[in-house]
Amino acid sequence: MANTTVGLVRRVKTDAGWKHFPAAYWSNGRVKPDIVVVDGKKVKHEQGHYELRFYVGSKVAYELLKNAAPAAAEDHRKRKEA
């Protein structure tokens, strides 16, 4: 069976360069704008963009969602997962 897991990540600029971090969610399931989860803590990063993380076979792939709002990015994730 194929792996159909799709995650929403935000690629942000850090002191060590560009890195992927999972997007943070409110308790109602909406995405928190500009907030990512770093080592279990929610951190605000202004500079960055959303991407979808999924698998092609056993390899991780990313789909760029340039200039997507948090709600639109979550909508893309749900459609890709379905």
User: 4-16, pLDDT tens digit by residue?
Assistant: 789 999 999 999 9
Alpha helices in the chain (DSSP H): 70-81
* pLDDT(3) > 80: no
Q: What is the pLDDT of residue 1?
A: 52
Residue 2 has pLDDT above 90, yes or no: no
- Note whether 21 and 12 are within 8 A (CB): yes
CA distance 47 to 4: 29
Domains of the chain, by residue range, sit at 7-81
pLDDT of amino acid 66: 86
Q: What is the pLDDT of residues 35-80, one digit of tens each?
A: 999 999 999 998 999 999 999 888 999 999 988 999 999 999 999 9
